[in-house]
Structure 1
């Protein structure tokens, strides 16, 4: 986890800091995602090798004290190492020909004491022999280490660079969006999972020079309509407006085509909410993360957002129309079975409109690629939402050989969706 100097400190010979509820949830999600990433990659039986790079940009010391049990638990570096170790065993079950996972780990930490603590823990673990070969510890700020790490990744894998970056910085001022943009510009297949301390920002954001300088430092200033901030506050829909604006800013500044973004907050109200943001070049990566959000919706942490239940326009919707004063924004949404149902119901009317507006058939994978990041739904909910339109003959779905799909659950990525009714939407 990223270090806040007065909160997270590691020193050899002293107990590590406590692991709060926030970090437990982030660790759980990240571990689940890494497992699914590997399992999906090896879905095809003929694949025998995965070259992967995992970069923990705010690694900390690698160990924590569990607040509830008082025992020592793993931080993100060891969770990553153990997840990959377990994956090698899992993907080779009942295999005659051995599969290999060649993963390089880069643990970056700006505090010398914390870096020394992490190195000490690795040396005293079963991963000791990999230190200096596939495990690299960097005592530096992430943005300073990144150029060298990118060069190493490209040198090791010149054609395709599969890399996952974990950027669990503490304060929003530490969000390295300039660095994130360079990741997506220079690598062929990167993904970034970062935390964003939205709660702190939304409480203090205002059109002041200090605030604009802070936002300029993380490459967000040019993406925010500063002259309308007070107007947003006066509408009574502040959370919706600023979330849409900042969501658009993060996505634009990162250069990532796909994004998943949700609040995570403790149900007991004893921890500050934050955003967990996943950025990727491929829709399938976004879809996997979205499904994980829904799977964890009933955990001890709340996953929520203020965006629309169906398709939403990332960014302040009045932004394009100067002087617009009417606002219709959504209330706070906590992910649950009820919000999933409402999401599917909303999409069942909105997806046919999108297909109609394309003025021709659309491939299902293109629908996901163009609109998938503009909804809290995963591809599963999008398919379910199509069933009503299929039953009513509003949408026709056909496979590559012309076969007709009557069940939306059987839709494949290359299937064609065609709008079949002539009436106009009102």
Structure 2
């Protein structure tokens, strides 16, 4: 995977299209993040830590225009949140933020220091902004201790941006340590899945190189058998998604591609968390940067499975656009009913539980599920009840409502054309 070259003479590396898309995604995510965590009007202090584990030099060039890198995006997001959250607020809220910017490249750290100074942040160095030249693995223990020292109840509200250059600089056991250490933390991880699949072999040097991922020899042999089969690459991606979530212990993930046109490879931007609301915010971000984010499929419950007997060439590219939304919602109607029948039989299930168990399998937002549920209620395919079993007149379920197949349902599957068939 190409690496940026940093200099301290004012020369900036060129920003790639996928890097710009990642920065937009992170910026949007943080705007919505603050809106979500500071929803309580009585909150007067929001204590949070931002960690950029592969921070780079802090700025890029895009056709002659300077583009802020992730460190400055993080700093700017907090300033924007301070203004937005306190607008019209009776009780002001203080965002007590600490920033840790880490890179193993001394030139990148020097360039970042210069860019921070140019942006007026020089006096903050050593106060709330901390620069470290070291591999992230070496720097993490001290950062972890610092977060623990300023947290209560082991919440440790924090966002880790790990924009690694490949797929092993942020080992999965380390990511698991992050998620297990703090209940209020989230990880945004870049994962060069295209490079990994192309690189896979059963040679000793390969086994050693992928050791930080926790892949067994048996898994690698399975991937190699699939690699040359029709549709095998998509199957490998599905298996890797499951593996990453299992190895990190994350309850929720959103592994969607940002295509690196320059390198003709696929990069995952994986958001890992233990909160369905946090995952939903990140998925909303992918919909915002439509035509930059990519998923293979139609948006139904298919992310964890793939039928190898289908022609992979007919598997649609899902670009998070208006067409994909229409297709996804139509297919979700069948998917929701089938899931209720197959997994819960005739029993009703709490809507929030249903959402939590389905979230990882689709690029649908919570709002998409709400929309589909409303349509199914109108069609008398879905029944709603309150938590104590009383019928609801509303067409949209509350998170604590019970949902189930309507007793008068004429459930059937829609036959899809080959253009949209999985």
Question: Shared fold (TM-score greater than 0.5)?
Answer: yes
Provide the residue aligned with 1:99 in structure 2: 93
Which residue of structure 2 aligns with residue 154 of structure 1? 148
Tell me, yes or no, if structure 1 residue 349 matches structure 2 residue 334.
yes
**CA shift in 2, pair 1:10/1:269, >3 Å:** closer
* Alignment partner of 1:255 is 2:270: no
* Residue among 7, 11, 28 paired with 1:11: 7
C-alpha displacement of 1:422? 8.0
CA distance in 1, matches of 2:178, 2:251: 13
Judging changes above 3 Å, is the alpha-carbon distance between structure 1 residues 223 and 138 closer, same or farther for their aligned structure 2 residues? farther
1:189 corresponds to: 184
The farther-off stretch of 165-174 and 332-341 is 332-341
Tell me the CA shift for residue 213 of structure 1.
2.1
Aligned residues: 406
Q: Is residue 204 of structure 1 aligned with residue 195 of structure 2? A: no
Give the one of 282, 290, 300 matched to 1:310.
Answer: 300
Contact 2:350 2:387 in 1 (8 A): no
Counterpart of 1:174 in structure 2 is 169
Residue 16 of structure 2 corresponds to residue 20 of structure 1: yes
Secondary structure (helix, strand or coil) at the match of 1:193 reads strand
What SS does the corresponding residue of 2:216 show, helix, strand or coil?
helix
For structure 2, which runs of at least 5 residues remain unmatched after alignment?
414-422
In 2: Cα distance, 1:296 partner to 1:238 partner: 28
Work out the CA distance in 1 between the residues paired with 2:297 and 2:248: 20
Task: Tell me how far 1:90 sits from its aligned partner.
Answer: 1.3
Identify the residue that residue 116 of structure 1 maps to in structure 2.
110
Offset of 1:393 from its aligned partner? 2.3
1:120-131 superposed matches below 5 A: 120-131=114-125
CA contact (8 A) 1:166 1:192 kept: yes
The C-alpha deviation readout for 1:400-422, integer Å capped at 9, x for no partner, is 573514423xx221121122338
Q: 8 Å contact 1:150–1:187 — kept in the other structure?
A: no
CA contact (8 A) 2:54 2:163 kept: yes
Counterpart of 2:378 (choices 391, 395, 405) is 391
Is the CA contact 2:382–2:403 (under 8 Å) kept in the aligned structure 1? yes
1:91 match: secondary structure: helix
CA-CA distance at 1:260 after TM superposition: 0.3
Q: Does residue 1:278 correspond to 2:274, yes or no?
A: no
Unaligned 5+ residue runs, structure 1?
Answer: 319-324
Separation (CA, whole Å) in 2 of partners of 1:331 and 1:52: 41
1:334 maps onto 2:321 in alignment? no
Question: Deviation string for 1:4-40 (max 9, x for gaps)?
Answer: 7x74232322412221111111101001101110012
Q: Which residue of 2 aligns with 1:51?
A: 47
Q: Cα distance 1:403–1:295, how it changes in 2: closer, same or farther (>3 A)?
A: farther
RMSD (Å) for aligned C-alpha atoms: 2.5
Instruction: Give me the whole-angstrom Cα distance separating, in 2, the residues matched to 1:153 and 1:210.
Output: 37
Q: Normalising by structure 2, what TM-score?
A: 0.88
How big is the shift at 1:317? 6.3
| Secondary structure at 1:260 match in 2 | strand
State the alpha-carbon separation in 1 of the partners of residues 71 and 228 from structure 2. 44
Instruction: Check whether the contact 1:21–1:271 (CA below 8 A) recurs between aligned residues.
Output: no
TM superposition shift of 1:60: 0.9
Once the two structures are TM-superposed, the CA of residue 223 in structure 1 deviates from its matched residue by 9.2
Do structure 1's residue 421 and structure 2's residue 389 form an aligned pair? Answer: no
Partner of 1:368: 355
> 3-state DSSP class of the match of 1:106?
strand
State the alpha-carbon separation in 2 of the partners of residues 178 and 91 from structure 1.
36
In structure 2, what is the equivalent of residue 322 of structure 1? none
* More displaced 10-residue stretch of structure 1: 10-19 or 222-231: 222-231
Q: Can you list the C-alpha shifts for 1:222-261, whole angstroms capped at 9, x where unaligned?
A: 3973333343234310331121011112111211000001
User: Which residue in 1 is equivalent to 2:418?
Assistant: none
Cα offset for 1:174? 2.2
**What secondary structure is seen at the aligned counterpart in 2 of 1:340?**
helix
Question: Which secondary structure state, in structure 1, belongs to the residue aligned with residue 119 of structure 2?
Answer: coil
Answer whether contact 2:41 2:91 (CA < 8 A) is retained: no
Change (3 A) 1:79 1:149: same
Question: Alpha-carbon deviations, 1:127-162, whole Å to 9, x = none?
Answer: 223211111111111011111111110110132211
| Residues 97, 384 of structure 1: alpha-carbon distance in 2 compared, 3 angstrom cutoff | closer
